[in-house]
Amino acid sequence: MQLSERVIAVVGGDEREREIARLAATTGATVRAYGFPWPDGGIAGVTRAQTAAEALAGADYALFPIPGIAADGTLFAPSSPEPIRPDAALLAGLAPGAKIILGWPDDLLREAAAAHGIELVEYEHDTELMLLRGPAIVEGALQIAIAETDVTIHDAEVGVVGHGNIGRLLARTLVLLGARVHLFARNPVQRADARAAGCVPHPLTGLPERAAGLSMLFSTVPSRIVDEAVLRRLPPASLVMDLAAPPGGIDLDAARALGHRAVWARGLGRRAPVTVGASQWSGVFRRITEIEEKRGSA
């Protein structure tokens, strides 16, 4: 895949976008960047733009950050001096037929893109990218579990609710670290999968009864399974961690009121930015490759 005739703009984000921009430049593309923390020594092959508009001008691909659009319609860009609002004016400068690859858009961005004939390629709910971020998320959860408990994961009785993409990775890692992992899932297929991975499977209805024996409880499902009845049965000062997408599945206020160490783990994907940026880029690059192949054959 030769991208030497293409212009890629990386706008907004954090240290992950730094790695994405660096890797984008290794394809031979022209890469312009704005709105993420710029390293002292610069980034080989990447031009630092002075404004978002300058970065996007004439770009064939605009890469917007993973966490997507905030409620106020601006990009996630904590290190940017001013908010970056991807409105019609900003998108007007993109090349004809440009694509925006991003976590997820809001309605305004959808309208602005449609007005300019720009395709949006979303990956927030993309299982591939979630799995590529998976090890970073799991290791972030391990870091917290180690820091916030008085016991080792090794030899601990641990509960995990849900055996989807993240629950499965987390449960398997805890098993390898020597925990006895009780996996709670409604779906018998997930339970059979958990059993094969070395967990002790239980239906969700088994959670209240088992809670008293657990010293850590991780929830990866977005519904309220870990409710106050469960929290009351956990041993005092247990760790409860919510890894589900918002609005999460654990009543963290109730957990804290009961004396537990309650952690909202949203954002763990932001750690290990070099690894995660590289994983993310591998997924983005596959999409660009597919788009270019279609163009080539069209």
Q: Quick check: 142 binds a second copy (CB under 8 A)?
A: yes
Residues 15-54 contacting a second copy, CB under 8 A:
15
Q: Quick check: 273 binds a second copy (CB under 8 A)?
A: yes
Of 80 and 238, the one with the shorter C-beta distance to a second copy is 238
Q: Quick check: 151 binds a second copy (CB under 8 A)?
A: yes
List 110, 232, 286, 295, residue binding a second copy (CB under 8 A): 286
List 82, 111, 119, 155, residue binding a second copy (CB under 8 A): 155
List 153, 214, 230, 234, residue binding a second copy (CB under 8 A): 153
* Burial category of 267 from C-beta neighbours within 10 Å (exposed 0-12, middle 13-18, buried 19 and up): exposed
Min. distance of Cβ 256 from a second copy in angstroms?
18
Q: Quick check: 178 binds a second copy (CB under 8 A)?
A: yes
Round to whole Å and give the CA distance between 219 and 288: 35
Strand 99-102's sheet: what is its strand order? 46-48, 30-34, 7-11, 61-63, 99-102, 119-122
Q: Quick check: 192 binds a second copy (CB under 8 A)?
A: yes
Residues 197-256 contacting a second copy, CB under 8 A:
197-198
Q: Quick check: 188 binds a second copy (CB under 8 A)?
A: yes
Q: Which residues bind a second copy (CB under 8 A)?
A: 15, 127-129, 131-132, 134-136, 139-140, 142-143, 146-147, 149-156, 165, 169, 172-173, 176-178, 188-189, 191-193, 195-198, 271-276, 283, 286
